[in-house]
Amino acid sequence: MRHRARVLALGLALAACGDASSGLPAETTFTVVPRVSATTIPPPAPPPTGTALPGESLPPRLDGFGIGESSSIFRRTEIELAADLDGIAALGVRWVRLDLEWVYVQADGRDVWRWDRLDTAVRLARERELDVIALLAYTPAWARPAGTTDKHPPTNPDDFARYAREVARRYGPLGVTTFEIWNEPNISTFWAPRPDPVAYAGLLARASAAIRAEIPTATVLTGGMSPAADRSDGRQVRDRTFLRRVYDAGGGAAFEGVALHPYTFPDLPGHATDFNTFLGAEALYRVMVEHGDGAKRIWATEFGAPTSSRRGVDEERQRAILADGYARWRAYPFAGPLLWFTFRDEGSGNDADDDYGLVRIDGTPKPAYMALVAILEAEFARQAAGT
């Protein structure tokens, strides 16, 4: 089919892009914009109508599908990032999740703003008519207690809300209207020193109000919750427990959707275990129904499996996890988009996020990539037939 040929052509062409050490000329690196006040640098211009291969129009976008990128916008050149987004857009998915990190934007102080790499990433995504889920997270040093990391919540949640409002003000005119507030706040890895649903509910409410002041029709998501058990030391809180406590703290009015990270590797999503977050999404949804939120959806803003021999699965197992997960997720009546984490590998498996990609670091496709192409092709055909 013509769509498949276009997807494969763009995906395989990523190999020509190479990685950060591939000998790209110096001018392909990001231009660093001087760090100045928030009002000095104008926001980027609204995007053009899109990009396409010569003689072609962009494919339609499938609402239930997307790709979650990590912090790659801070590590890749503009050419590399553009190539990855070309590959994502060629799939025909609607969504891309981008880390628009506070720790980068205001690294140098309360009134010092830096937008260069965020501007580039948002512009490139919107030029390809990808809808952005803007992940807002991580605290700069000036806004958190001394001696803590950027995964510690801010001392004053109003500082976070101010950042959220500036992001909405800057990128709302470009069509960025979906925001995920923090990342995995139910585990101490990302909310230090231990999760606090009440404090998170306060942060969520303030950020949501700030975003809606700029974009009244914005879609605000809770922070995607990690697979976790309720631990006695409080360092992990199960997703349904965490959400229930957010509701109890009055946070229900602050979001339009619940975000979840239903990782199951090395198991398949359909393998029943006590803490299978994928199958447990039904129990999470029941918490939403109990609080009058049955009309809201669960957005799986990260799902995937790494393929390193050290900590992950082999490539065939990754393919099986993807195929099983997509089939099961689309059967849920409450299912929002399911985003695969990530498009392209970033390394050889030494870092936690190195090798979740659908394609290898050199751009060649893994079996999971081919499986996703087949799933999307079938979905395009189903929609074309009106079934």
Q: What is the pLDDT of residues 82-99, one digit of tens each?
A: 999 999 999 999 999 999
Say yes or no to pLDDT of 2 above 60.
Answer: no
Say yes or no to pLDDT of 39 above 50.
Answer: no
The pLDDT, as a whole number, for residue 151 is 98
The highest-confidence range among 50-64, 107-121, 344-358, by mean pLDDT, is 107-121
Say yes or no to pLDDT of 161 above 60.
Answer: yes
Q: Which residues of 114-146 are buried (b: 16+ CB within 10 A; e: fewer)?
A: bbebbbbbbbbbbbbbbbbbbbbbbbbbebbee
The pLDDT, as a whole number, for residue 311 is 72
Say yes or no to pLDDT of 46 above 60.
Answer: no
**Which tokens go with 98?**
């981008």
User: What residue type is 193 in one-letter code?
Assistant: P
Residue 31: is the preceding peptide bond cis (ω within 30°)?
Answer: no
Each domain of the chain, given as residue ranges in start order, spans 2-18+63-385
Mean pLDDT score, 110-132 = 97
The pLDDT, as a whole number, for residue 386 is 84
**Which tokens go with 308?**
């390193």
Mean pLDDT score, 223-251 = 97
CATH of 2-18+63-385, one of 3.10.310.70, 3.10.20.30, 3.40.50.720, 3.20.20.80: 3.20.20.80
User: pLDDT of 286-341, one tens digit each?
Assistant: 999 999 999 999 999 999 999 986 778 999 999 999 999 999 999 999 999 999 99
Sorting pLDDT into bands at 50, 70 and 90, what band is 57? low
Say yes or no to pLDDT of 279 above 60.
Answer: yes
Residue 46's CB is within 10 A of a number of other CB atoms, namely 10
User: pLDDT of 100-115, one tens digit each?
Assistant: 999 999 999 999 999 9
- pTM of the shown model: 0.88
The pLDDT, as a whole number, for residue 32 is 30
Say yes or no to pLDDT of 23 above 80.
Answer: no
Say yes or no to pLDDT of 140 above 50.
Answer: yes
The pLDDT, as a whole number, for residue 273 is 85
Sorting pLDDT into bands at 50, 70 and 90, what band is 35? very low
Sorting pLDDT into bands at 50, 70 and 90, what band is 353? confident
Say yes or no to pLDDT of 136 above 90.
Answer: yes
